[in-house]
Amino acid sequence: MSGPRSVLLDLAARRATGALLRDSGTLYLADGAVVHAESPAAPGVGTLLTAGGRLTDDLWRGAIDRAGARRQVGRFLVDSGRLSCGELEICHLSALFDASYFVLGAKGGPTRFRPGAQHWFGHLRPITAGAVERESRRRTALLNGLWPHPQVDTAPVVRRAAPHSPAPSRRQGAVLALADGVRTPSEIARLLGRPAFHTLIDIRRLAAAGYIDTPAAGPPPRPATPLAPWSADAAAVPDVALLRRIRDALEARL
Q: Are 80 and 116 in contact (CB under 8 A)?
A: no
Domain extents in the chain: 4-129, 147-240
What is the mean pLDDT of the segment spanning 88-117?
95
**What's the first-to-final CA gap in the chain, in angstroms?**
31
In whole angstroms, what is the distance from residue 157 CA to residue 187 CA?
Answer: 10
In whole angstroms, what is the distance from residue 111 CA to residue 120 CA?
Answer: 22
What pLDDT, in 10s, does the model give residues 149-191? 999 999 999 999 876 778 899 999 999 999 999 999 999 999 9
Asked if pLDDT for residue 205 goes beyond 80, the answer is yes
Question: Which has the closest alpha carbon to 80: 98, 107, 94, 62?
Answer: 62
What pLDDT, in 10s, does the model give residues 118-130? 999 999 999 999 9
What is the mean pLDDT of the segment spanning 82-96?
94
Strand order in the sheet with 127-128: 111-115, 18-22, 25-30, 33-38, 127-128
pLDDT of residue 250: 52
pLDDT of residue 244: 52
pLDDT of residue 220: 44
Asked if pLDDT for residue 115 goes beyond 50, the answer is yes
What pLDDT, in 10s, does the model give residues 212-251? 999 875 444 444 343 434 333 333 334 445 555 555 555 4
Q: Are 95 and 105 in contact (CB under 8 A)?
A: no
Mean pLDDT of the chain: 87
